[in-house]
Amino acid sequence: MTGASSGIGAATARLLLERGWRVLAAARRLEAMEPLAALGAEVMALDVSDEQSRRQLADQVSAKVGALDALVNNAGYGDVGPVETLPLERARAMFDVNVFGLMGLTQQLLPAMRERGSGRIVNISSIAGRWVSPGAGWYGASKFALEALSDALRLELKAFGVRVVVVEPGVIATDFPHVASASMEQSFSCRTYSTMMRAVSKSWESVFRSASPPLEVARTIERALTAPNPQARYRSGHQSASVIASQLLPTRVWDTLVRMQMT
């Protein structure tokens, strides 16, 4: 389990421990995982964007358990701002964590699962991996990429007994608004997009007041891990049903609904 220091990752690690799983919990902040360690989790340091850190974690996992029964790729974060003005280095940083880091760790841990002929990979995406709101284009792009790579992995690994599942949380009560707050504030200074970004911010504040608890997603992840024949995708949490609406409605109608709320 990556990204286990808070939010969905911490809630999932706790739930799995309660269910009797042996949990290897990884995150950048070891001290934040002390409560998990007290519950029996084996905590390990991981900066998923750093190749050496990924390699060190893979070596530790190999020494502890050999091949994993399941890998839950939860580490990720969001930065916000208009596509035109968000600096590319910040976009690359998101992709380094949400896409390249996640898949780099998967590449390290997958061979042992494939050679054994069993295992499960659960990638935590987002409803932003299915439809994108103004101001979150680069974050959404990273999640769209994760969805595509997960589809490819699911097809490629079927013959080797490794199942690949995507979980798409909706609006969840995590640190996401706090983490994104600095970039949101910065976007207000852009004369071209400040009005739009203030409307986006106001809409997000309203939506997050009804956010689902991380435990709701944790239960969905457990279902993705334990179902004998898992679905390719599971939605979970507040507004996750919006994915269905975005697929069924004509694009022009959907765009109008989104813009009415966020611009």
Catalytically active residues, by annotation? 139
Residue with tokens 């998967």: 106
- 3-state helix/strand/coil string of the chain: CECCCCHHHHHHHHHHHHCCCCCEEEECCCHHHHHHHHHCCEEEECCCCCHHHHHHHHHHHHHHHCCCCEEEECCCCCCCCCCCCCCHHHHHHHHHHHHHHHHHHHHHHHHHHHHHCCEEEEEECCHHHCCCCCCCHHHHHHHHHHHHHHHHHHHHHHHHCEEEEEEEECEECCCHHHHHHHHHHHHCCCCCCHHHHHHHHHHHHHHHCCCECHHHHHHHHHHHHHCCCCCCEEEECECCCHHHHHHHCCHHHHHHHHHHHHC
d(CA 166, CA 238): 17
Chain Cα centroid distance, residue 10: 13
